Chain A
Amino acid sequence: MKSKAAGLPLSYRLAVTSRCLAAVFGGYLLASMSSVCISLLAPIPKAEAVISGMMLSFLFYLVAFLWCFASRSAWQAWLGVLLPSLVLGAINGLAYWMKS
Chain B
Amino acid sequence: MKEGFRQAMAWLHTWTGLIFGWLLFAIFLTGTLSYFKEEITHWAQPEVPTRALDPAASLALAQTYLQEHAPNAGSWFIRLPEAREPALSVGWRAEGAGRRGFIDKTLDPATGEEVQARETRGGDFFYRFHFQLEMPHPWGRWLSTFAAFIMLLGLVTGIITHKKIFKEFFTFRPGKGQRSWLDGHNAIGVLVLPFHLMISYSSLVIFMSMVMPASIIASYGDNTRGFFNDLFGAPREVKATGVAAPMLPLPTLYEKVQEQAPGTRLGWIEVQNPGDQNARVRFTRHAGDRIAHMRGGGWTYDGVNGELQGASTIEATPMLISGGMYGLHMGVFAGPWLRWLYFFFGLAGTAVIGTGLVLWLGKRQLKHAKSGSQPGELRLVEVLNIASMSGLLLGVAAFFWANRLLPVGLEGRAGWEVNSFFLLWGLSVLHAMLRPGRRAWAEQLGLAALLWGTLPLLNQLTTGHGLVHSIAAGDWAMAGVDLTALGSGLFLAWAAMKMWRPPVVAAKRAPKAAKAASANLIESEVN
Give the B-binding residues of A (Cβ under 8 A).
1, 3, 5, 16, 19, 31-33, 35-36, 38-40, 44-55, 57-58, 61-62, 65-66, 69-72, 92, 96
Contact = CB atoms under 8 A, between A and B. Distances in A.
Secondary structure dominating the interface of A: helix
Secondary structure dominating the interface of B: helix
Interface centre among A33, A54, A62, A65 (most CB of B within 10 A): A54
B208 A54 contact: yes
Interface stretch (B8-16, B46-54, B164-172, B176-184): B8-16
Contacts, number: 107
Interface string B302-339: 00000000000000111101100100000000000000
A54 B215 contact: yes
A44 B320 CA distance: 14
B270 to A, nearest CB: 23
Contacts of A53: 215
Nearest to A59: B201
Nearest to B7: A1
Interface stretch (B150-158, B244-252, B402-410): B150-158
A48 B212 contact: no
Contacts of B7: 1
A65 to B, nearest CB: 6
B204 interface: yes
29 contacts: A32-B214, A32-B215, A33-B214, A35-B214, A36-B215, A36-B218, A38-B215, A39-B219, A45-B316, A47-B230, A48-B319, A50-B215, A50-B220, A51-B318, A54-B209, A54-B212, A54-B215, A55-B318, A55-B321, A55-B325, A57-B214, A58-B152, A58-B201, A58-B204, A61-B149, A62-B149, A65-B153, A66-B156, A70-B8
A48 B218 contact: no
B212 A58 contact: yes
B208 A40 contact: no
Interface in B135-163: 149, 152-153, 156-157
B227 interface: yes
A53 to B, nearest CB: 4
A55 B201 CA distance: 9
B216 interface: yes
Nearest to B216: A50
B12 A96 contact: no
A83 B10 CA distance: 26
Contacts of A47: 227, 230-231, 319
Given A39-B218, A57-B212, A58-B212, A51 B319 contact: yes
A55 B322 contact: yes
Interface centre among B12, B201, B218 (most CB of A within 10 A): B218
Contact of B205 (A44, A55, A71): A55
Contacts of B2: 72
Interface in B171-208: 201, 204-205, 208
A71 to B, nearest CB: 8
B212 A62 contact: no
B527 interface: yes
A32 to B, nearest CB: 4
Contacts of B156: 62, 66
Given A1-B1, A55-B321, A69-B8, A46 B212 contact: no
Nearest to B363: A3
B328 to A, nearest CB: 14
A28 B230 CA distance: 26
